[in-house]
Amino acid sequence: MDMVRQLRPGEIEDSLLLAAEAFGVHLSPQMIQARLQRIEPATIWGCLRDNKLISRMALLSLDVFVHGKIYKAGGFAVVATRPEFQRQGAVSKILREALYELYRREVPLSLLAPTAFSFYRQFGWETVCDRITFTLNNVELTNRLPSKGHIRLVDPDWRLLQPIYEQMAVKYTCSLQRNEDWWMKHIFFRTEGSSWAVYCNQNYEIVGYVCYSPMHDKLQVNELFCCNEEARQELLTFIGQQAATRSIVLHTPIDDDLSFLLREPAFSQTQSPYFMGRIVHTSAFLQKYPFWAPDQQITLTLDVHDSLLDLNHGVYTLHFESNRLQTIHRERFPMTLDRIQYYACCDIGTLTSMLMGYKRPAALQRIGRLQADYATISILEKMIPLTTPWIADYF
């Protein structure tokens, strides 16, 4: 008999060794101790069979920007199963139980970085964020504007970096709102041994930073956040100088215009899906969502299919008046269509992708993922904000 529950403190080391075995990673005793110090036992969920841990997952508490609003979210991370127990449904049981737990806590959203997109789509997750990977050489990073500022190397200090990061992160959907704990246990832990540099303007204000890791054959840019173009170009030039003869690899959001700015844009640029999301509690998600609403009264009906979370499945009627959402009413079954003003029908993954800004309503209708008439698509196109999805983190 399988049992899914949160792991106890004495079981965390076993869960680390399980994940290392599943991903083919060797952990030294020192590495195990370092990880044990940063893990909160309550965040690790496990599936036990006859009291033996066979599968595990971390469930992180996150704050995420969604079109400028801050949403509570659950981050699903380090999902792993012992090799001899794979494909026996253990991970599925953990995912279901964790989603029900988030629903009970009225957490609106969940995010994960998948190893297999098709697997998580079975449980209602859908792609919500792409990223572009640039691979270029230092010669290409020679464009620069006249600058009166300067660059200096710094020790990793979240208080220096947080204002720059957040000024940029709030402009994107999916970006995390970081706090001291996240900087220390995730960012600085993951980038240990990397170099950090900041750009200061002529008033000695820090307006940009970069984190980079020189390797044998490349220079990996872990983070690059800037408040203005001057800071970005100065830091890119600095990165080119540090790279010497090595190639430079950096990841950016899909609206980044780096290739347009460089004199020779014919270098490797790869756009790929990065993160998946899932609305866990539809009522809580919609209640906070920054819809654009017209002056007149309108009623929008969303028929949402959620085959996993029965309590989340249903027909949501949203009433707008005076430029804002006034009420949300959920029913188990749809009312007759002749009483509905605007009606759209989709599964929970499609709804997530649409409201997070990854796919527009018209595109989803065109490929058969969203059922709605022309009038409903038109109003949805107006009501859903245009914000680029982007997350710089990995978990």
Residues found in the chain: 395
CATH number of 2-107: 3.40.630.30
Q: According to the model, what pLDDT value does residue 318 have?
A: 96
SS (H, E, C) 49-100: ECCEEEEEEEEEEEEEEECCEEEEEEEEEEEEECHHHCCCCHHHHHHHHHHH
Low-confidence ranges of the chain (pLDDT < 50): none
The reply to whether domains 2-107 and 138-266 share a CATH topology is yes
Q: Where are the domains of the chain?
A: 2-107, 138-266, 281-383
Q: According to the model, what pLDDT value does residue 236 have?
A: 92
User: Nearest-CA neighbor of 112 among 68, 59, 191?
Assistant: 59
Q: According to the model, what pLDDT value does residue 279 have?
A: 98
CA-CA distance, 212 to 214, in Å (whole number)? Answer: 7
pTM of the complete model: 0.93
Contact 338, 301 (CB under 8 A): no
Task: Give domain 138-266's CATH architecture.
Answer: 3-Layer(aba) Sandwich (3.40)
Q: According to the model, what pLDDT value does residue 94 have?
A: 97
Strands lying side by side in the sheet with 314-321 = 324-331, 314-321, 298-305, 342-347, 371-372
| 131-166 tens-digit pLDDT | 999 999 877 776 566 678 999 999 999 999 999 999
CATH fold of 281-383: Nonspecific Lipid-transfer Protein; Chain A (3.30.1050)
117-120 contacts: CB < 8 A, separation 24 or more?
A: 117/273, 117/276, 120/276
Q: According to the model, what pLDDT value does residue 1 have?
A: 84
Q: According to the model, what pLDDT value does residue 338 have?
A: 63
